[in-house]
Chain A
């Protein structure tokens, strides 16, 4: 909030320099964010937190500043010169809804001339970001900025029966507010009405009909106290945020209404030559109740971690205009009317520690009474996935958790789709309209962005949650780990374009390092992927653990990719919460014998099927089966494949002879021919 430095200083005794004042305010909780010179003064932008409406005015901030620099707050001169007929004979006020308006003070001024404000006044308003209009309006704004009390001036002659009625609106009533809008009122809007119709939205904005103008002669000045919640609801519903509503919403000072009315009446009289009619119209159905609070000096000292003197506490409270007294260890105090935020002892502790100064409290580490810290298993899980991905050479992306609903719709067919989607009720943009059900769209957008930036080797991963709403109140957010490879992918030496086997190598490393269960790679599975180069990863129970493959041509076209793009996604919750401890296996003492076997078979027999059969049918001394090479070609005929496998034989207690191995291979060959449609 903007403050005029000279205006602030006018309320503080003595002559404190600006730097000291700024530093002191920052230290007691009112950060001076910026200081800009303006004429003979400075404009200060000071952070006034929402709980402190009392400092949203010059006098309130000056009170804090005075205590902080050890000066006194000057007394306020509220004298008014009054002449003519009694105000109460000129206008009347009636409060019908006392629950929403605890007090209504009116002042009557006669013989108004609508003049321009003097320069000094206009400058002060402008420094605080308020546009000068005319002397009457400016005076009410001036008093608002000085005391925090919102005021409003009505053209008295335009109030039917010269009467103010404070009441809830009737359904269907319409009020043309000063900003030129017609407001359709609801029954819980509090209005200021005359005998017939609403003339202002209480605590928010005046109405156009009763606005003062050139022909105005008599003015009714309103200075009232409205309930915070009611003002807040009305101003929010109409989207009207005004200087008045800002303060009422946060809680105005219930005792300030008469004071501000006097100040404003005097100022308007000075500026316009109007006379102030004697007496205030003051309707106060619910007078403010003070409340007494007690706490102990030792209590606040213990809480702070600092011995605080009892007299110091009383001095601070009194400077903040609390009534305070001490009896030994016990402090009794009554907060002032403008401190609605003080409700409990903790609030008092804050006042005291704030003005003792946070710097004065010695820093002492707390005693450790908890066992050594541990990370939540979910954090272990996701960071294990992250480390595995980084170890593969992938770079981490973090993308938004909301995606385009049109893209999301296509995820219905994604094998890892977690369930029904969760649209946002109030998205920032249509393209960020729904919570993601896969990390792949975000990664594809990132891959495209990188390609656009001229990157040629794209190898990204993301770890994060996807979201679904399976039913009613049940929301799920499982953790996924996903990969995109494009262009040169990992840029492995000797390779110039990513292919399925590179992706598969990455996924296998993630599965291994991530402590996932054994999976089978099953071909196909998603319209997102190429028919031939797409796979679903399935665990022993048939559960889908992951998806991997080349982005299909249709999808690649939608994203505008010209090059092959490979993606994979894993469901992290499929992995073990705690990876098994590695176990040492005795190192072999005798050499292994390896031998290759070449099998010719139909293309329908997958490599995995062949390898599984070989493992099953081979001698128990075979410790590994691996692929050496595969050959297809015209020479073999259509749909025929020749696969060479390498088998390693090893005996734990002796060297094996070539004859033994040959015999075992003969058995294997015979078994394979019998089991599968193969030639060897």
Chain B
């Protein structure tokens, strides 16, 4: 037992002196801890000698003396800078690797989320939140998607008990906010969403961010300017052009699909953009009056626009991550690239 304790103290001491790296204050703390004259660990070890059976005393005593010498030598060496990892002294090699300190990293999806939040906070938008387990009314009906609407086919839904479902988009939060608040409203809603779909380009869980502006006299030109401003800021390192294409979403009218110039080929056409030079990035449109009516906003007085995009997709584009599903296995080699 006694000898084992000596070994423990030796190992701990060597580790401590190593990690001190020659820092004078750290070395002094170590000296106090081990060789302090009032309470150093060596005192405890010496005290323990007296209580050992006689036949063990000799070996223990010799080992203890060796340890005391080691401690003294190493402390001396550390103080005088003779140790190899000592950070000073003549002939010191400045090319030695520094100590590796722990460094954390956020997931790229959350980096992108925060980047987008910053842009919209500066434009006066609130960042809102809502439940991931939703009811049919907020996820579909309030957004002008009645039970037999074909748009439900595109959003294959996970159901839980009690008619509840996992939200298929962040849009239900729009409906919830409009039910509770009077315009003017400026919000964005980031969060997890779920669709029953899993292949190379689809993950059953992914992330969206949604935006909504409702006020008097909001125009389609306002939508264009807002999204152009946003996309120029989001892809500021790439310097993209923005294109608006008519499209269809049940909750907006007119609707616009928004493309940016392909960041991989600069718009000249490549495999990623199907040789079109454009990449689809965002869906948007003027809020359908039926959505306003469903949530109690005066559709004669107010107009507004809404938009939504996939955070995972933006992260993949922005940072060049090729595979969506790679994002959700917790591979720290991937995430640490974003530290």
**Residues of chain A whose beta carbon lies under 8 Å from any beta carbon of chain B:** 26-29, 31, 33-34, 47, 49-52, 229, 232-233, 249-250, 302-306, 344, 346-347, 349-350, 353-354, 358-359, 361-376, 378-379, 383, 386, 389-402, 422-428, 432, 435, 442-443, 445-447, 449-450, 453, 455, 458-462, 464-465, 467, 469, 472-473, 475, 477, 490-495, 596, 598, 628-629, 631, 633-635, 642, 644
Of A359, A424, A450, A459, the most chain B CB neighbours within 10 A belong to A424
Which chain B residues in 119-166 approach chain A with CB under 8 Å?
Answer: 120-129, 131-133, 148, 150-151, 153-154, 158-162, 164, 166
Q: Shortest CB–CB separation between residue A141 and chain B, in angstroms? A: 22
Chain A hits for B254, CB < 8 A: 349-350, 353-354
Q: How far is the CA of A628 from the CA of B30 in the complex (A)?
A: 11
**Known contacts A396-B110, A400-B205, A495-B15; A449 and B39 CB within 8 A of each other:** no
Chain A hits for B314, CB < 8 A: none
B327 at interface by CB-CB < 8 Å: yes
Supply 5 further A-B pairs (C-beta < 8 A) apart from A392-B102, A426-B159: A350-B253, A396-B110, A424-B158, A450-B333, A455-B332
A-B contact pairs, 26 of them (CB 8 A): A29-B247, A29-B248, A50-B150, A50-B151, A52-B248, A302-B219, A347-B253, A361-B220, A362-B221, A363-B225, A372-B121, A374-B121, A386-B106, A392-B104, A395-B104, A427-B158, A446-B331, A446-B332, A469-B160, A475-B131, A475-B133, A493-B101, A494-B15, A629-B33, A631-B44, A633-B2
B169 at interface by CB-CB < 8 Å: no
Contact A373 B121, beta carbon cutoff 8 Å: yes
Chain B hits for A370, CB < 8 A: 124-126, 184-186
B224 at interface by CB-CB < 8 Å: yes
Which chain B residues in 165-212 approach chain A with CB under 8 Å?
Answer: 166, 184-186, 190, 192, 194, 196, 198, 204-205
B41 at interface by CB-CB < 8 Å: yes
Chain B hits for A47, CB < 8 A: 247
Stretch with Cβ within 8 A of A (4 or more), from B47-55, B71-79, B262-270: B47-55
Contact B335 A375, beta carbon cutoff 8 Å: no
Of B18, B109, B286, the most chain A CB neighbours within 10 A belong to B286
- Closest chain B residue to A352, Cβ basis: B254
B244 at interface by CB-CB < 8 Å: yes
B296 at interface by CB-CB < 8 Å: no
Which residue from A306, A346, A402, A644 sits with its C-beta under 8 Å from B221? A306
Contact B158 A426, beta carbon cutoff 8 Å: yes
B257 at interface by CB-CB < 8 Å: yes
Q: How far is the CA of A462 from the CA of B205 in the complex (A)?
A: 15
Chain A hits for B41, CB < 8 A: 629, 631
Q: How far is the CA of A380 from the CA of B33 in the complex (A)?
A: 42
Q: Shortest CB–CB separation between residue A42 and chain B, in angstroms? A: 14
Write out, one digit per residue, whether chain B residues 214-243 have a CB within 8 A of any chain A CB (1) or not (0). 010111111011101100000000000000
Of B101, B106, B131, the most chain A CB neighbours within 10 A belong to B106
Contact A366 B226, beta carbon cutoff 8 Å: yes
Contact A50 B248, beta carbon cutoff 8 Å: yes
**Known contacts A27-B245, A33-B274, A633-B1; A425 and B161 CB within 8 A of each other:** yes
B322 at interface by CB-CB < 8 Å: no
Contact B221 A363, beta carbon cutoff 8 Å: yes
Contact A375 B126, beta carbon cutoff 8 Å: yes
Chain B hits for A443, CB < 8 A: 330
- Closest chain A residue to B289, Cβ basis: A346
Contact A472 B15, beta carbon cutoff 8 Å: no
Contact B205 A304, beta carbon cutoff 8 Å: no
Q: How far is the CA of A371 from the CA of B187 in the complex (A)?
A: 12
Which residue from B106, B109, B333 sits with its C-beta under 8 Å from A453? B333
Contact B148 A232, beta carbon cutoff 8 Å: yes
Interface size bracket, B side? 35 or more
Q: How far is the CA of A51 from the CA of B159 in the complex (A)?
A: 26
Q: How far is the CA of A445 from the CA of B190 in the complex (A)?
A: 26
B65 at interface by CB-CB < 8 Å: no
**Known contacts A49-B248, A305-B220; A396 and B107 CB within 8 A of each other:** yes
Q: How far is the CA of A447 from the CA of B332 in the complex (A)?
A: 9
Q: Shortest CB–CB separation between residue B270 and chain A, in angstroms? A: 14
Q: How far is the CA of A547 from the CA of B160 in the complex (A)?
A: 28
Q: Shortest CB–CB separation between residue B250 and chain A, in angstroms? A: 8
| Closest 5 A/B residue pairs (Cβ) | A393-B102, A446-B330, A305-B221, A29-B246, A397-B330
Contact B19 A494, beta carbon cutoff 8 Å: yes
Q: How far is the CA of A100 from the CA of B288 in the complex (A)?
A: 29
Write out, one digit per residue, whether chain B residues 38-75 have a CB within 8 A of any chain A CB (1) or not (0). 11010010011001100000000000000000000000
Chain B hits for A469, CB < 8 A: 160-162
Contact A34 B2, beta carbon cutoff 8 Å: no
Of B38, B190, B253, the most chain A CB neighbours within 10 A belong to B253
**Known contacts A373-B186, A449-B331; A634 and B1 CB within 8 A of each other:** yes
Q: Shortest CB–CB separation between residue A304 and chain B, in angstroms? A: 5
Contact A374 B127, beta carbon cutoff 8 Å: yes
Q: How far is the CA of A426 from the CA of B160 in the complex (A)?
A: 8
Q: Shortest CB–CB separation between residue A639 and chain B, in angstroms? A: 14
Q: Shortest CB–CB separation between residue A78 and chain B, in angstroms? A: 30
Q: Shortest CB–CB separation between residue B277 and chain A, in angstroms? A: 12
Which residue from B100, B158, B222 sits with its C-beta under 8 Å from A366? B222
Contact A365 B222, beta carbon cutoff 8 Å: yes
Q: How far is the CA of A394 from the CA of B330 in the complex (A)?
A: 12
Q: How far is the CA of A333 from the CA of B148 in the complex (A)?
A: 29
Contact A401 B19, beta carbon cutoff 8 Å: no
Contact B220 A401, beta carbon cutoff 8 Å: no
Q: How far is the CA of A221 from the CA of B4 in the complex (A)?
A: 97
Chain B hits for A475, CB < 8 A: 131, 133, 160, 162, 164
B336 at interface by CB-CB < 8 Å: yes
Contact A425 B159, beta carbon cutoff 8 Å: yes
- Closest chain B residue to A27, Cβ basis: B245
Q: Shortest CB–CB separation between residue A379 and chain B, in angstroms? A: 5
Chain A hits for B125, CB < 8 A: 370, 373
Contact B221 A364, beta carbon cutoff 8 Å: yes
Q: Shortest CB–CB separation between residue A599 and chain B, in angstroms? A: 12
B93 at interface by CB-CB < 8 Å: no
Of A304, A458, A494, the most chain B CB neighbours within 10 A belong to A494
Contact A305 B219, beta carbon cutoff 8 Å: yes
Q: How far is the CA of A354 from the CA of B285 in the complex (A)?
A: 12
Q: Shortest CB–CB separation between residue B324 and chain A, in angstroms? A: 12
